[in-house]
Structure 1
Amino acid sequence: MASFPLPPAMFTRVATPFGTAPADPETREALALFATHVADRAVLLTDPDGVILFCNDGTELLFGREPQLLIGCDIAGLMTDDARQARIDRERAIKAATVRFETRCLHIAGGAFDADVTITPIPGADGRLRAFGYSIVDIGDRKAAERRLAESEAHMRSVLATVPDAMVVIDDRGRIRSFSAAAERLFSYREAEVVGSNVDMLMPPDHRARHDAYITRYVRTGEQRIIGAGRIVVARRKDGSEFPVELSVGEANSGNGRIFTGFIRDLSDKQRAERRVRELQDELIHVGRLSAMGTMASTLAHELNQPLTAIAAYLEAARRLTGEAAADRARALEAMDAAGREAVRAGEIVRRLRSFVARGENERRVEPLVPLIEDASRLALTGARESGVRAFHRFDPAADHVFADRVQVQQVLVNLIRNAVEAMGDAEVADLTITTRREGEMIRISVIDTGAGLPSGQIPRLFEAFATTKADGLGLGLSISRTIVEAHGGRIWAEVGAVSGSMFHFTLPAARSDSAS
Structure 2
Amino acid sequence: MSDPPNSTQPPVNLLDAATLQLHLASILTSVPDAMVVTDESGKILAFSRAAEALFGFSAEEVIGKPVNMLMAGRDKANHDNYIGNYLRTGERQIIGKGRVVIASRADGTQFPVDLKIGEARIGDHFLFTAFIRDLTEQQRSELRMQEMQAELVHFSRLSAVGTMASALAHELNQPLTAVANYLEASRDLLDSPDPETKEVLREALTEAARQAVRAGEIVRKLRSYVSRGEVDARPVSLGPLLADAIALSKLSRDLADIPIKLDQDDGADLVMGDPIQIQQVVINLIRNAMDALSNTQNARITVRVYLSAEPGFVAVEVCDNGPGLTSELQETIFKPFATSKSHGMGLGLSICQTIVEAHGGTVRAISPPEGGTCFLFTLRRDAGKSGS
Relative to the length of structure 2, the TM-score reads 0.46
Larger radius of gyration: 1
Greater share of strand: 1
Relative to the length of structure 1, the TM-score reads 0.36
Larger RCO: Structure 1 or Structure 2 (Cα < 8 Å, ≥ 6 residues apart)?
2
